[in-house]
Copies of this chain bind each other. A is one copy, B any other.
Amino acid sequence: MNPGAGLRDGAAIATAGPVRVIGTGLLGASLGLALARHGVPVQLADASPAASALARDLGAGDLVATADAMPEPALVVVAVPPDVTSDAVAEALRAHPGAVVTDVASVKAVVLAELRAQRERGDLIGSDLARYVGSHPMAGRERSGAAAADPDLFASRPWVIAPHEDSSSAAELAVRTLAVDVGGIPVRMAAGEHDEAVAVVSHVPQVVASLTASLLTDTPTEALGLAGQGLRDVTRIAASDPRLWSAILVGNAGAVAARLARVREEIDTLVAALERAAAEGPLTPGAMAAASAVVRRGNDGVARIPGKHGGVRRTYAEVTVLVPDEPGALGRLFAQVGELDVNIEDFEMEHAPRQRVGLAMLSVMPDAATALEEGLTARGWRVVVA
């Protein structure tokens, strides 16, 4: 049985090629791979010839440079960093007067504003903007570049489509079709609405992760030895690319600054309360209330994040199992979970420092937890249901 077969085959591709991909980093190369897999002709261009050659070698399409007689693209996808996106989009609109043009930058309003400024200056003609619809696949990873490309990068991820007052419905449909063809879930949003949304769900989390990790630069090594899963989770995305992220943050400067200013206000209030407590003792009036309010509001906010399958976050039972760190141990565990016919809803692995053992935390529907616990215990696993 092929568990992924339903995803790979059978889906008809509606995107009319050729598709020209400008910028062959992670997103551009992944898109090329996804389209080329379905036989859509892809034309690859990048300011770095080495980058586009790598993408070609990976199977993401053909190089533009070698094909003077290349047919005109029906669709151009600009996949360059946010700060150079609008210029690349304008150039594509001028160079390919019959093509629909989209971009995949993480910020949308600034790109649209810059394109409108170009039209006002006469660098674009009036009808050009009808062929442009910006977009943003919510698909990234800490690694960048074509080497990290993946034709399934967009599978099951939201892909924001941002039409505007001048865009044609035909252009919007072409971009939407592209998103669906590579497995994304199209979500229609105005550029400004998109930028406000990603400021909260992506850009501010990046900043706070980076700032929290920054504190570790001068923390003694012994202190770092106390780090647990909480710190690791909060700071995981702090490993992201500074070049890309500075362009994103500056490209969404207004929305990000407004949210960060709110965070700063909350920190101000808390720091003032804690400084009073440090000076006057922990029972200083207001200190406990200020600290408690911060944590309670956090409880309320995190409960609103949609869970698996887009529903409200479900409460699973968690079954924790000690797993020796050796080849096949997780395999044995999951094979035996499979024998018990229990579906794992979520899975986390925790590793303690300096020990060759891990804690596997299996999330299951509450009514399956007891059977799983008993079945694994009977099979000799060290297991606990919380």
Contact, CB under 8 Å: B212 / A322: no
| Cβ contacts A313-341/B at 8 Å (1 or 0 each) | 00000001011111111111111111101
Query: Given known contacts A245-B295, A275-B257, A301-B216, is B380 in contact with A4 (CB within 8 Å)?
Result: yes
CB neighbours (8 Å) of A288 from chain B are 83, 246-247, 250
A263, A329, A346: residue with the most chain B Cβ atoms closer than 10 Å: A263
Which A333-386 residues have C-beta < 8 A from chain B? 333-339, 341-344, 346-349, 351-359, 380-382, 384, 386
Q: How far apart sit A140 and B228, CA to CA, in the bound complex (Å)?
A: 9
Contact, CB under 8 Å: A158 / B331: no
Measured CB to CB, the closest approach of chain B to A48, in angstroms, equals 20
Contact, CB under 8 Å: A301 / B382: no
Q: Which residue of B lies closest to A228 (CB)?
A: B138
Measured CB to CB, the closest approach of chain B to A294, in angstroms, equals 5
Quick check: is A120 within 8 A (CB to CB) of the other chain? no
Quick check: is A150 within 8 A (CB to CB) of the other chain? yes
CB neighbours (8 Å) of A352 from chain B are 155-158, 185
Quick check: is A49 within 8 A (CB to CB) of the other chain? no
Q: Which residue of B lies closest to A267 (CB)?
A: B264
| Cβ contacts A289-307/B at 8 Å (1 or 0 each) | 1011011111111111111
Contact, CB under 8 Å: A3 / B332: yes
Quick check: is A71 within 8 A (CB to CB) of the other chain? no
Q: How far apart sit A148 and B138, CA to CA, in the bound complex (Å)?
A: 36
Contact, CB under 8 Å: B309 / A242: no
CB neighbours (8 Å) of A343 from chain B are 325-328
Count of chain A residues with a beta carbon within 8 Å of a chain B beta carbon: 160
Which A173-232 residues have C-beta < 8 A from chain B? 185, 187, 189, 193, 196-198, 200-202, 204-217, 219-220, 222-228, 230-232
Measured CB to CB, the closest approach of chain B to A163, in angstroms, equals 15
Query: Given known contacts A295-B245, A384-B150, is B226 in contact with A201 (CB within 8 Å)?
Result: yes
Q: How far apart sit A277 and B307, CA to CA, in the bound complex (Å)?
A: 35
Query: Given known contacts A212-B263, A380-B4, is B110 in contact with A309 (CB within 8 Å)?
Result: no
Q: How far apart sit A201 and B234, CA to CA, in the bound complex (Å)?
A: 10
Quick check: is A18 within 8 A (CB to CB) of the other chain? no
Q: How far apart sit A171 and B351, CA to CA, in the bound complex (Å)?
A: 30
Quick check: is A160 within 8 A (CB to CB) of the other chain? yes
CB neighbours (8 Å) of A235 from chain B are 205, 298, 301-302, 305
Q: How far apart sit A256 and B273, CA to CA, in the bound complex (Å)?
A: 11
CB neighbours (8 Å) of A270 from chain B are 207, 249, 257, 260
Q: How far apart sit A357 and B324, CA to CA, in the bound complex (Å)?
A: 28
Q: How far apart sit A245 and B155, CA to CA, in the bound complex (Å)?
A: 38
Contact, CB under 8 Å: A295 / B242: yes
Contact, CB under 8 Å: B338 / A282: no
Q: Pick from B238, B291, B341, B354: contact of A302, CB below 8 A.
A: B238
CB neighbours (8 Å) of A200 from chain B are 215-216, 219, 223
Q: How far apart sit A220 and B295, CA to CA, in the bound complex (Å)?
A: 21
CB neighbours (8 Å) of A297 from chain B are 210, 213-214, 217
Q: How far apart sit A338 and B2, CA to CA, in the bound complex (Å)?
A: 18
Q: List 21 A-B contacts (CB under 8 A).
A: A1-B380, A7-B357, A152-B320, A152-B382, A157-B228, A187-B222, A201-B216, A205-B234, A208-B208, A214-B294, A214-B301, A235-B302, A239-B302, A246-B288, A247-B288, A250-B274, A251-B282, A254-B274, A254-B278, A310-B353, A334-B335
